[in-house]
Chains A and B, each alone.
Chain A
Amino acid sequence: MTAQPLERLGLVHTMLAVPAMHCAGCMGKVERGLAALPGVTEARVNLSARMVAVTHADTLGPQDLVRTLAGIGFEAQTRRAELTRPASAVKPLLAPLAVAGFAAMNVMLLSVSVWSGAEGSTRDLFHWLSALIGVPAIAFAGRPFFSSALGALRKRRTNMDVPISLGVIIATGLSLYETAMHGEHAWFDGALMLLTFLLAGRVLDAMMRDRARSGVDALISQAPQGATIMEADGTLAWRQAEALLPGMVMRVAVGERLGADGEIVRGASRFDQSLLTGETTPVPVQVGERVLAGTLNLDAPVDVSVSHVGRDTTLAEIARLMEASEQTRSRYVRIADRAARLYAPAVHTLAALSVIGWLLAGASLYHALVVGVAVLIITCPCALGLAVPVAQVVASGALMRAGIMVKDGSALERIALVDCALLDKTGTLTMGRPLPDPTVLAALEPDTASVALALGSHSSHPLSRALASALAAAGHRASPIELVEERAGEGVFARWHGLEVALRRPESAGGTAASLQIEGRPTWLIPFADRLRPDCATALGELRQLGIEISIVSGDNAAAVAEAARATGLTAQANASPEEKQALIARLQGAGQTVLMVGDGLNDGPALAAANASMAPGSASDVGLQAADFVFTQDSLRAVPRAVRTARKTRRVVRQNFALAIGYNFLAVPLAMAGVVTPLIAALAMSLSSLIVIANSLRLAR
């Protein structure tokens, strides 16, 4: 399907991200709900990517689709078509895996006949057939390893792929020679089986990364960043963030995030800067004061004259800090590569020693070389190649089921080492959004609560939305209200059975609260506060039990941080800027500690990138989600100790796997050096050690 015939029919494609889809029921609801909309010809869900592709008449806008989905209870965001499907890490590996698997099975079949006693011309025929299947298959399926090994050698380093590639290439070369010389042993089956096992390990590793990435991609909002610009002639027009220029005047509606830094020229409002600074109390601003890109307008529409755009904004400054601080992580060497640094030279020395030993003992050059190759093949790190990825995939699958997404395997290795955790306050220790006081909500009469829910659902103000979702979660239903009117900076007003009702700003605005008025009834004042996450104390206790020191580092003011510190019994640093958070981490790392950063905001971005390992809640800012190694989607903070525990268990299992794989080598290498290993023994040993390693890793699924 190309775009042209579609356009001729007046049809367009729209991609929507729907992060909340997770089961067959959701898929059915979304597809049926969209298909029921007039003008929609097709809606198809991709559950792995949490996306839905809709083909619809161009009379329908993306906003209509989003609204329809909201009506059936799914939050959705539009995606630009070209960004929808980033290259998957699994797909390029599937074809090599299929070829290697096919060839290994067929060659193994031929090898079994040779092992069971085929001789003479039959054996030659079988060897030639094996070569015919094996050589092209090895050339095709081995490419991922050969290119990685070449890359490492060019940089004068060695990794796991170097001994693998050497083993495979030498085994193939020797087998070809043997086949041509009517020899007894060919090793095509061993080389192909090795490739199959290793590719399976790679595919598992890639699957883990793909799964986590699509989960995180769905959370990240790619809604167009920009602003409504007031032109010189008074008309309003939407401009993309890149098209903003200093001196333009933006009109910022309530509930909108600023697209650029600027100065207020008309109106007054309060801005939520928590994403940028961690400060929870909204900051009142008036004409002439500075406001920053990324902050949220809470009270009234204002006009802002743009002062800095693009790379000059505070936001971009934070992004630069982050780029500069990714070094800790790139310096980390993964366990498998560290093992390879010791393993590869040891194996190659052993092989060389056997060749020299046999030559000194008077064997022919050919025989000595065969023994050397046998050593290389038998030590080829089949089990070693699986030792790390299988354990990490099983562990990350278990974490995924518990609502924790792992970005990649090295994250699991790094978080296992942490001995010190820094927690951001706003949005991490706390929920990061104002929540209505539950005791007041419980005290509301049912019909009052229904009116409040109806009023709240008519506004996009954060307080209204929080109230509506809290009441809906408590099982209330919205009652029908009429003549709904939202007055900016005041509240929502309506009529209910002829009575005047309103959800509005309290007259004496002390703290954050909303007042609910129903004509003829007493007025309710509903206080809002940012609350600690559920299980906060348990989670912190578990972290301490794991031997991790915890403290709070927050950009919020001292009073708010002190309150959280009192409630949790932690030491805390308040008023920390992004640079200071980053500097604190560098200090701790300088003192020999391994730091875990848990944070959500833009202001945590540099710290998340600088820490040895990092975690962010699913509600975090896009920057936080991208910088963090782990993203936990549930409200409970117990995800943090859980991730650390699983990572440490994984590290134990990986070490056991290495011990098993090396133990096997201790048994097999002397046999190979003595020259008694046949292809049959090699195939058996290889499969057996791989199976043991896989079985050991599967214990992590529990």
Chain B
Amino acid sequence: MTGLALLIPVALGLGLLGLASFFWALRDGQFDDPDGAANRILIDEDD
């Protein structure tokens, strides 16, 4: 039971952290241009 008292809050906290960062990304406009984000990594900066 003592293990649970520690593990459950940790698990929930990590999950909430993930959820919060997703909301941050959503508000930050990172889902405005999914195609562009996928392709941008392929742009060759040298030429």
- The contact of B43 among A28, A48, A49, A91, by CB within 8 Å, is A28
Asked if A48 and B33 sit within 8 Å, CB to CB, the answer is yes
Asked if B39 and A47 sit within 8 Å, CB to CB, the answer is yes
Does A602 count as interface, using CB distance less than 8 angstroms? Answer: no
Interface residues of B in 8-22 (CB under 8 A from A): 8, 11-12, 15-16, 18-19, 22
Does A41 count as interface, using CB distance less than 8 angstroms? Answer: no
Does B6 count as interface, using CB distance less than 8 angstroms? Answer: no
- The contact of A129 among B8, B36, B39, by CB within 8 Å, is B8
Cα–Cα, bound, A99→B39 (Å): 28
Distance to closest chain A CB from B30 (angstroms) = 11
Asked if A109 and B39 sit within 8 Å, CB to CB, the answer is no
Number of chain A residues whose Cβ lies closer than 8 Å to a Cβ of chain B: 26
Cα–Cα, bound, A45→B37 (Å): 10
Does A20 count as interface, using CB distance less than 8 angstroms? Answer: no
Asked if A106 and B15 sit within 8 Å, CB to CB, the answer is yes
Is chain B's interface secondary structure helix, strand, loop, or mixed overall?
A: helix
- The contact of B33 among A31, A47, A90, A133, by CB within 8 Å, is A47
Cα–Cα, bound, A48→B42 (Å): 16
Cα–Cα, bound, A23→B4 (Å): 50
- The contact of A48 among B19, B22, B35, by CB within 8 Å, is B35
Distance to closest chain B CB from A28 (angstroms) = 4
Q: Point out the residues of chain B lying under 8 angstroms from A95, CB to CB.
A: 23, 26
Q: A106-B11, A106-B12 are in contact. Are A27 and B43 (CB under 8 A)?
A: yes
Question: A491-521 vs B: 1/0 string, CB under 8 Å?
Answer: 0000000000000000000000000000000
Number of chain B residues whose Cβ lies closer than 8 Å to a Cβ of chain A: 25
Distance to closest chain A CB from B7 (angstroms) = 10
Asked if B43 and A24 sit within 8 Å, CB to CB, the answer is yes
Cα–Cα, bound, A27→B40 (Å): 8
Asked if B43 and A46 sit within 8 Å, CB to CB, the answer is no
Q: Point out the residues of chain A lying under 8 angstroms from B33, CB to CB.
A: 46-49
Interface residues of A in 118-156 (CB under 8 A from B): 122, 125, 129, 133
Asked if A48 and B32 sit within 8 Å, CB to CB, the answer is yes
Q: Point out the residues of chain B lying under 8 angstroms from A85, CB to CB.
A: 32
Q: Point out the residues of chain B lying under 8 angstroms from A129, CB to CB.
A: 8
Does B28 count as interface, using CB distance less than 8 angstroms? Answer: no
- The contact of B23 among A23, A24, A98, A106, by CB within 8 Å, is A98
Asked if B36 and A27 sit within 8 Å, CB to CB, the answer is yes
Asked if B26 and A23 sit within 8 Å, CB to CB, the answer is no
Interface residues of A in 619-644 (CB under 8 A from B): none
Asked if A94 and B35 sit within 8 Å, CB to CB, the answer is no
Q: Point out the residues of chain B lying under 8 angstroms from A106, CB to CB.
A: 11-12, 15
